[in-house]
Structure 1
Amino acid sequence: MKAIIIGGGQVGSYVAKLLIQNGYDVSIIENREKPLEKIKNDFPEKMLVRGTGSDPDTLERAGIVSADVVVAVTGEDQVNLVVATIAKYEYGIKRVIARVNNPRNTWLFNQSMGVDVAVNQADLVSRIVMDEIDMKSLSTLLKINKGKNSIIQMGIQEGSAAANKQIKDLQLPDETILITLIREDDVIVLNGSVELKANDTVLALTNEKGQFALNALFSK
């Protein structure tokens, strides 16, 4: 199976690793210098294609003619939509997945624009809040990758190793991404300088081994 990922940031590189582990032939398209330098250490150079994912020439260099799935996960909704439309209608890709960065743009990410699956982080968070899910315990929200990986929510307990620590100072398990943080009624976008506090709830993408490690990190 051939997959093309547009966007070599944290999300794109993580998806690429998962697909490679499952036997996919993966190409990653990226045009920014810093992400390119970083992912050069994680992937063979033959997998990396320098260029813009909305450029047909770049897509063809990445092998879109023989691709089975295209995943557009850049930080720009406009780029992700253009990629989806080109992939679906110019190249007939059967499975097109696109990331929604701005919730206001969600209505655009539909099948008429070539999007088979729209991934909207804000929508996921809002559903959790509205359903009044218990934020004090670990819950599995969604299993992916044939059950090998999950999106989980986990409360941070007072006295745990993670409480009052900045994310950059935590030793996170491999193949784990912290997606977002919920603190009382606020949803906080995560970066390395965000300090975790007791009673916060974190949404994370991880595997089974990572769940045990996060539990040890977030529990007293």
Structure 2
Amino acid sequence: MARVNDEANAWLFDGSWGVDAAVPAAMPLVSLIEEATGATNTVALLRLSRAGVNVIETSITPASRAVGAPLADVEVPPGTVVAAVVRDGTPVAPAADLLLAAGDEILVVSHAATEVEVHAAFR
């Protein structure tokens, strides 16, 4: 997937560059994600079907083994990337040394993992 700053150049980003889908930077993905993050369970927020990619949200509970652990210590499923951590309503960069806390909402992007697998990784 490629984020394209100038939509007029989207045609350049194709399979020959290893791109399955070119997404204009102005596309309102953020608003779609914000609308969907009110869910309490792990949910698929957005299915980028052409690219076979899911954006999945899960929360860190007080009983989670991830509480107090650095993000790097959480074994996410193969083909999965942590895209954002939302803490107290504020996005936090998903740095490897970020210590996870109860109440953190984790946004992951994956082309292979299921919602159940993502949920399990952070519980």
In the superposition, the TM-score normalised over structure 2's length comes to: 0.70
Structure with the largest fraction of helix: 1
Q: Paired residue for 1:183, among 83, 87, 98?
A: 87
Q: Paired residue for 1:173, among 77, 91, 95?
A: 77
Tell me what 1:118 maps to: 23
Aligned length: 111
Classify 1:152/1:119 alpha carbon distance in 2 versus 1 (closer, same or farther; 3 Å).
farther
For residues 194 and 213 of structure 1, what CA distance do their matches in structure 2 show? Answer: 21
CA drift of 1:177 comes to: 0.6
Classify 1:119/1:166 alpha carbon distance in 2 versus 1 (closer, same or farther; 3 Å).
farther
Q: Mind listing any 5+ residue stretches in structure 2 that lack a counterpart?
A: 12-21
Deviation by residue 1:90-123 (Cα, 9 ceiling, x = unmatched): xxxxxxxx326xxxxxxx5222xx1253355xx5
2:53/2:110 contact within 8 Å kept: yes
Taking CA–CA contacts closer than 8 Å with sequence separation of 6 or more, which of the two structures ends up with the larger relative contact order?
A: 2
Classify 1:143/1:132 alpha carbon distance in 2 versus 1 (closer, same or farther; 3 Å).
closer
Tell me what 2:33 maps to: 128
Q: Paired residue for 2:68, among 145, 150, 164?
A: 164
For residues 86 and 104 of structure 2, what CA distance do their matches in structure 1 show? Answer: 6
CA drift of 1:147 comes to: 8.2
Q: Map 1:134-149 onto structure 2 (within 5 A).
A: 134-145=38-49, 149=53
For residues 45 and 97 of structure 2, what CA distance do their matches in structure 1 show? Answer: 26
Classify 1:133/1:212 alpha carbon distance in 2 versus 1 (closer, same or farther; 3 Å).
closer
Structure 1 counterpart of 2:29, one-letter code: L
The answer as to 2:103 corresponding to 1:206 is: no
CA drift of 1:154 comes to: 1.0
For residues 157 and 213 of structure 1, what CA distance do their matches in structure 2 show? Answer: 16
Deviation by residue 1:147-194 (Cα, 9 ceiling, x = unmatched): 854111111111112121101112221111111111122111111011
CA drift of 1:134 comes to: 1.7
CA drift of 1:126 comes to: 4.6
CA drift of 1:211 comes to: 2.8
- Higher-Rg member (1/2): 1
Q: Percent identity?
A: 21
Classify 1:127/1:159 alpha carbon distance in 2 versus 1 (closer, same or farther; 3 Å).
same
For residues 197 and 139 of structure 1, what CA distance do their matches in structure 2 show? Answer: 20
CA drift of 1:146 comes to: 5.5
Deviation by residue 1:21-63 (Cα, 9 ceiling, x = unmatched): xxxxxxxxxxxxxxxxxxxxxxxxxxxxxxxxxxxxxxxxxxx
